[in-house]
Amino acid sequence: MENQLITLLRIKTHNLGSFVKDKLESNGIEVFFTNENLSKSDKYNPNEVLLKVKAKETEKAIQILLRIHKDYDLDKIKEDIGFTDLRKILVPVKLSEDCIELCRYAFSLAKKTKAEVKLLYVYTDPTFNEPDKHTASWEKHVRMELEEAFQKAQLKLVNFSRKLQKQIPKEILDNVKIHYRMLKGTPVNVITDACKRYEPNVIVMGANTQKSEDGEFYGKTLLKVIENTQYPVLTVPESASFKGKEKINVMYATNFYDSDNSSLNKLLDILKEFDKKIHCVHIDLQDDPHHQEKVEELNKMLDQNYSEHNIKCVLFESENILKGFDDFIKANDIDIISISKVKHSAFYKLFHSDLSAQLVTTEKVPVLIFPV
């Protein structure tokens, strides 16, 4: 009974959800969001969710909600730009042990960049591949299957939240706004759709290619999210940890795109709270003298437009792209790699070959991918 979640409120805007959640959690009540069991007869609102709390905290939560209604003008809160201006990190999680370290990394990043974190758990729709029947007995069977899947997913999410509270330092948890969201469907579709609604500054995903017991979130899902989303994706290998260094080294890989300026602006925005040195690197496979000319042109542009930042473009010769990445990372103590996802470019084609998993999932440092 104590793990059961009880619906207290229907929320129709992100601002109001964030406000009510903050008030409840400041009083020690953990909050969860889901769109499961919303009435299908209602007009569809993609931002609408149900706010839930643990059964044992229901009475206290209701008392707080009554005080909120008495003390605040909720209509004004719905339009409060203070919530819309928050930086946002979306973290899809499969609720396994290796996700604890992924969350630790995301929470530490959020603390540093003054962002909120939304943990998104996608659970399987048990009726996805079942035949479409309309008999009363079959519809009853489907409702039972859906309810059972929902209850199991709900239990997993509650248990995972407890693990986070035990294993993540309180100093981090107390300084980061964390939202729990649970949705049903296929991971790629749900994650990309959630991004369109939530509009995160960055999506943080684990770079683990090993299959879990239920086949959740492994290499193909990660690569499909990178391909389909229009938001930056930060892939974090299992061995990576948020070091909290005073100064970080960033490798920005360029193929002399026209979009380099846009990508650099996005990179600087995401990392603006960090003291950083950015190595703008072209991996030279052909020893082409024209590439050095392009490097010099790019450095002139950097001196003119980014003089306040520590950015330098260099040419790095290598036998192949992946070896070039590895060698440069080791030689320059790189903390994060950044690349642009430009369709029809050499790097874009890399995401459609066997090499893609090697780049994103075997590097020892996180990889930040920008769609341009």
What pLDDT does residue 209 have?
55
Tokens 């389909």 label which residue?
Answer: 228
Q: pTM of the full predicted structure? A: 0.79
Surface-to-core class of residue 170, CB atoms within 10 Å of its CB (0-12 exposed, 13-18 middle, 19+ buried):
exposed
What pLDDT does residue 353 have?
45
What pLDDT does residue 53 have?
87
Structure tokens at 85: 């201006």
> Is the pLDDT at 84 greater than 60, yes or no?
no
pLDDT tens digit string along 275-289?
A: 999 999 988 887 777
> Is the pLDDT at 175 greater than 60, yes or no?
yes
| CA–CA separation, 251 and 334 (whole Å) | 6
Q: If you ran DSSP here, which 8-state letter would residue 109 be given?
A: H
Question: Which of 6, 38, 7 minimizes the C-alpha distance to 183?
Answer: 38
Q: Which amino acid is at 116?
A: E
- Across the strands, what pairs with 245? none
> Residue 246: CA atoms inside 13 Å, Cβ hemisphere, count?
0
pLDDT tens digit string along 98-112?
A: 889 999 999 999 999
What pLDDT does residue 131 have?
63
- Across the strands, what pairs with 276? 248
Mean per-residue pLDDT, 6-26: 81
Question: Which of 95, 159, 153, 117 minimizes the C-alpha distance to 18?
Answer: 117
> Is the pLDDT at 143 greater than 80, yes or no?
no
Beta strands in the chain (DSSP E): 5-11, 31-34, 49-54, 87-93, 115-123, 178-184, 202-206, 233-236, 247-253, 275-284, 311-317, 336-341, 367-371
Structure tokens at 219: 């290499």
Confidence grade of residue 249 (pLDDT, cut at 50, 70, 90): very high
Give the SS3 label for residue 181: strand
CA-atom Rg of the chain in angstroms: 23
Mean per-residue pLDDT, 329-338: 92
CA 245 to chain centre: 22
Q: If you ran DSSP here, which 8-state letter would residue 57 be given?
A: G
Q: How far is CA 36 from CA 21, 137, 143, 153, 317, in A?
A: 18, 22, 12, 11, 53
Confidence grade of residue 351 (pLDDT, cut at 50, 70, 90): very low
Question: In the chain, pLDDT over 90 holds for what percent of residues?
Answer: 23
pLDDT tens digit string along 286-328?
A: 777 788 888 898 899 889 888 899 999 999 988 888 888 889 9
> Is the pLDDT at 337 greater than 80, yes or no?
yes
Question: Which of 156, 94, 119, 340 minimizes the C-alpha distance to 233?
Answer: 340
Question: Which of 37, 33, 41, 40 minimizes the C-alpha distance to 12?
Answer: 33
Question: Dihedral of CA 209/215/217/219: which sign?
Answer: positive
Beta strands in 59-114 (DSSP E): 87-93
Confidence grade of residue 215 (pLDDT, cut at 50, 70, 90): very low
